Chain A
Amino acid sequence: MSGLAPASASSPPPLLSVRNLSIAVEGAGGQTVVDRVSFDLGEGGVLGIVGESGCGKSVTAMSVLRLNNPALRLRGGEILLAGEDLLRASEARIRAVRGGEVGMIFQEPMTSLNPVLAVGDQIVEAILAHRPIGARAAREAAIELLGLVGIPLPARRVASYPHQLSGGMRQRVMIAMALSCRPRLLIADEPTTALDVTIQAQIIDLLRRLQRELGMAVMIITHDLGLIADFAADVVVMYAGKVVERGATRDLFRQPLHPYTERLLASIPPLDRDVDRLTTIPGTVPSARTMPSGCRFSTRCPLAEARCRETEPPLRTMPGGRAVACHLVAEGRAA
């Protein structure tokens, strides 16, 4: 368990602690895309960040390695990796962290790999950038990594170019590269969205095995609630740039408290039974122009009252460690 509640003074700091992260589009009056987002991820834990498009989950993930579009500006907050604030670290330091202590894999491996370099050379490049070893040792390490991620005949595949590999194999190469420096944290941004379901199952199986064997923490960003339920011990649910609920995945799926989480879970088409009508969330996510001043979900919430449209509910931690941002839940009147 990674523990989502902010660490107390006595316990060691979590591996990753995101505190009050706020990011907005550049310029006066620029839309706030991430608004005071906070969560912790402990050493060796698996945390999922889930939400629909535009909720700010990818921007949050990219912020850890400062990979966001330059038009997005930090408005406040900290991202602490073992106590060190990455948002204020030097350019040289953040380069060492990228691919060093923190590895990252992306949705579309084809666009993340260099098409004119053999995959082995790309892994070697990553190793040499971080580890003080020679070229031959790096090549051997690359072959070992390709074997570790389940690529058959790694000694031959090391010379393959990305276009010669399938989508699933390319994602394995990306994982091998991300693991090349034994990161303490792997960030996986929609790692299986571009893959077929049987290949997705293979990749998730691989990530789970690596996470356990290497004791590495994983932060997975996805829109797929099933994937979260399957893989992540803890979950953060985001809506329109804010954390609306977070907690242990098992409890949160069994009993969602925020009206958004509840409706989102209910709108997954069931696989094991037929329903006459699927539960929907009416309307669409508000845009910058139509963002309500109170609770951001109030325009679509079936339980919303006048107060919800006026004052923003704070994220409140409940007994048992669950945190929810809803006036009605706080008073025990919803879910």
Chain B
Amino acid sequence: MSVPAPLLEVHELRVHFALRATSPWQRSGTVRAVDGVSFTVAHGETLGLVGESGCGKTTVSRAVMRLLAPTAGRILLEGEDVGRLRGRALARLRPRFQMVFQDPASSLNPRMTVAELLAEPMQIAGRDAAQIAARIVHLLRVVGLDPEHARRYPHEFSGGQKQRIGIARALALEPRLLVCDEPVSALDVSVQAQIINLLKDIQAETGIGCLFVAHDLRVVRQISHRVAVMYLGEIVEQAPKAALYGAPRHPYTRALLSAVPQTREEGGGERILLGGELPNPLDPPSGCRFRTRCPIVRPECAANKPPLREIAPGHLVACHFAT
């Protein structure tokens, strides 16, 4: 079986932030927000990246978008290292990877009409006016808005419609990779479902690859092909979604899934209540970073860091005791 080059390949990505104390009572140190994360996204595939606040999932998405510079590691987009490129060389690649943000209200300029918002990226990329006008009509249709809406301003739309505009703008340059950071978490459940269906439709039509960052495990299941779970800057488990949701192996993934409130028809298994909270990222636990909250912790977890190992095809787990 020949393996085609992935659309996105992230290898041993590290993003560290230096914290300088501004008063004698503060600590200085280094926050290892992302600490050795590797994954791939294939053409036409959606990888869900989940975890709780502070786990580093948003930092990963921002590093992939080159909104911040990685400390170490490689970010290859169709073989080109976007992690190292700068200036013009990076700008040349920009049309290939675009982002959808969490809050469409604050990511759309309120003083621009929808037509202007959609035209802007195409103007920067040097497309001509006739081409742009035709593409705006097409984009609005794709995201389920009326071409008549092009003359309106963002405040005239509901939250779900604004997110449709945000998606249309991200699609304007026909990117191969869409990075979505919590794109539906600000929306009501019925509208959320509309946006998820829309993203799936777009993927089926265009074959776009998607890195989907979210905390909502329900949403991630319905949109992703594969899922990676992060904890304190590291991936603890990564698997095709059926395996991850059906047979999670890492104790953190299990606890996370069991904590989702279940509707009656889902019934739900045993609730695993994790004690404590996320440790201070300035001072992460030795060995396995999850050990301070792990229900099956043993002494060796403090001494040895569990490597991310493959226990079934495509199913990676970082736990000494996962089988």
Q: Chain A residues in contact with chain B, CB under 8 A?
A: 52-53, 166, 168-169, 196-202, 204-205, 223-227, 229-231, 249-250, 253-254, 263-265, 267-272, 274-275, 277-282, 284-285
Q: Given contacts A205-B273, A279-B193, are A197 and B259 in contact (CB under 8 A)?
A: yes
Knowing that A53-B188, A196-B215 are A-B contacts, what are 10 other residue pairs whose CB atoms are under 8 Å apart, sorted by A's residue number? Answer: A197-B259, A200-B261, A230-B262, A253-B264, A268-B218, A269-B218, A278-B193, A280-B190, A280-B191, A280-B194
Would B158 and A284 count as touching, CB distance under 8 A?
Answer: yes
B237 CB to closest chain A CB (Å) equals: 15
Contact B190 A271 (CB under 8 A): no
Q: Does B71 contact A (CB under 8 A)?
A: no
User: Is the Cβ of B260 less than 8 Å from the Cβ of A52?
Assistant: no
> Does B202 have its Cβ within 8 Å of any Cβ on chain A?
no
Q: Assess whether B266 is interfacial by the CB under 8 Å rule.
A: yes
B196 at the interface (CB under 8 A from A): yes
Q: Which residue of B lies closest to A229 (CB)?
A: B263
The answer to whether A277 and B261 touch across the interface, beta carbons within 8 angstroms, is: no
- Report Cα–Cα, A230/B265, bound state, in Å: 11
Q: Which residues of B contact A226 (CB under 8 A)?
A: 260-263
Asked whether any CB of chain A lies closer than 8 Å to the CB of B30, the reply is no
Within 8 A of A (CB), among B191-205: 191-194, 196-197, 200
Contact indicator A229/B215 (Cβ below 8 Å): no
Contact A267 B260 (CB under 8 A): no
Minimum C-beta distance from B222 to chain A (A): 4
Asked if B197 and A227 make an inter-chain contact with CB atoms under 8 angstroms apart, the answer reads: no
Q: Is the CB of A225 within 8 A of B263?
A: yes
Which of A53, A254, A272 is within 8 Å of B264, CB to CB? Answer: A254
- Taking a contact as CB atoms under 8 Å apart, the answer to whether A197 and B217 are in contact is yes
Q: Which of B188, B196, B219, B260 contacts A197 (CB 8 A)?
A: B260
Q: Whole-angstrom distance between the alpha carbons of A202 and B160 in the complex?
A: 31
Choose among B255, B261, B266 the residue with the greatest number of A CB atoms under 10 Å from its CB: B261
Closest-CB distance, A277 to chain B (whole angstroms):
5
User: CB distance B263 to A201 under 8 Å?
Assistant: no
Check A269–B190 contact: CB distance below 8 A: no
Number of A-B contacts (CB under 8 A): 120
With A253-B264, A269-B193, A271-B260 as given contacts, are A196 and B52 in contact (CB-CB < 8 Å)? Answer: yes
Q: How far is the CA of A281 from the CA of B160 in the complex (A)?
A: 12
In the complex formed, the residue of B with least CB distance to A194 is B53
Cβ of A264: which chain B residues have Cβ within 8 Å of it? 189-190
Question: Residues of B contacting A270 with CB < 8 Å?
Answer: 218, 221-222, 266
Q: How far is the CB of A27 from chain B (nearest CB, A)?
A: 22
Q: By the criterion CB–CB under 8 Å, are B222 and A275 in contact?
A: yes
Interface residue? B256 (CB, 8 A) = yes
Closest Cβ neighbor of A222 among chain B residues: B261
Q: Which residues of A contact B52 (CB under 8 A)?
A: 196-199
Give the residues in chain A near B262, CB-CB below 8 Å.
Answer: 226, 229-230, 271
Asked if B153 is an interface residue, CB under 8 A from chain A, the answer is: no
Type the 1/0 row for B229-266, where 1 means its CB is closer than 8 Å to any CB of A: 00000000000011001000000000111111111111
Of the A-B pairs whose beta carbons lie under 8 Å apart in the complex, a sample of 25, sorted by A's number, is A52-B188, A166-B277, A168-B277, A197-B52, A198-B52, A200-B259, A202-B274, A224-B261, A225-B263, A226-B260, A227-B261, A249-B264, A253-B265, A265-B263, A267-B189, A267-B190, A267-B193, A268-B189, A270-B221, A270-B266, A272-B266, A280-B190, A280-B197, A281-B191, A281-B193
Cβ–Cβ contact B221 & A269, under 8 A: yes
Closest to A230 in B: B261
Q: Which of B45-62 contact A (CB under 8 A)?
A: 52-53
| A204 engages B261 (CB within 8 Å) | yes
Interface centre among A265, A272, A275, A279 (most CB of B within 10 A): A272
Whole-angstrom distance between the Cβ of A262 and the nearest chain B Cβ: 12
* In the complex, chain A residues whose CB is within 8 Å of the CB of B188: 52-53, 223
CB-nearest residue of chain A to B198? A280
Q: Which 10 A-B pairs have the closest CB atoms?
A: A226-B261, A196-B52, A281-B190, A278-B193, A52-B188, A269-B218, A201-B259, A230-B261, A267-B193, A280-B193
| B161 CB-CB contact with A under 8 Å | yes
Q: How far is the CB of A255 from chain B (nearest CB, A)?
A: 11
Chain A contacts for B161, CB-based, 8 A: 284
Q: How far is the CB of A129 from chain B (nearest CB, A)?
A: 31
Which residue of chain A has its CB nearest to the CB of B186?
A: A53
Q: Please, how many angstroms separate the alpha-carbon atoms of A52 and B192 in the complex?
A: 11
CB distance from A80 to the nearest CB of B (A): 31
Q: Judge whether A272 and B245 touch: CB under 8 Å.
A: yes
CB distance from B244 to the nearest CB of A (A): 12
Please indicate the chain A residues that have their CB under 8 angstroms from the CB of B298 in the complex.
none
Chain A residues with CB under 8 Å of B222's CB are: 269-270, 274-275, 278
User: Is B27 positioned at the interface, with any CB of A under 8 Å from its CB?
Assistant: no
Interface presence of B155 (CB below 8 A): no
Query: Within 8 Å of chain A (Cβ to Cβ): is B271?
Result: yes
Residues of chain B within 8 A of A166, CB atoms compared: 277-278
Tell me the B269-298 residues at the A interface (CB within 8 Å). 271, 273-274, 277-278
Residue of chain A at shortest CB distance from B53: A196
Q: Which residue of B lies closest to A277 (CB)?
A: B197
Chain B nearest CB, measured from A204 CB (Å): 7
Q: How far is the CA of A289 from the CA of B126 in the complex (A)?
A: 41
Closest approach, in angstroms, between the C-beta of B240 and any C-beta of chain A?
A: 11
> How far does the Cβ of B46 sit from chain A's closest Cβ, in whole Å?
13
| Complexed CA–CA distance, A201 and B160 (Å) | 28
Q: Which residues of B contact A269 (CB under 8 A)?
A: 192-193, 196, 216, 218-219, 221-222
Across-interface contacts of A278 in B (CB, < 8 A): 193, 196-197, 222
Q: Which residue of B lies closest to A224 (CB)?
A: B261
* Residue of B with least CB distance to A51: B188
User: Are B264 and A267 touching (Cβ within 8 A)?
Assistant: no
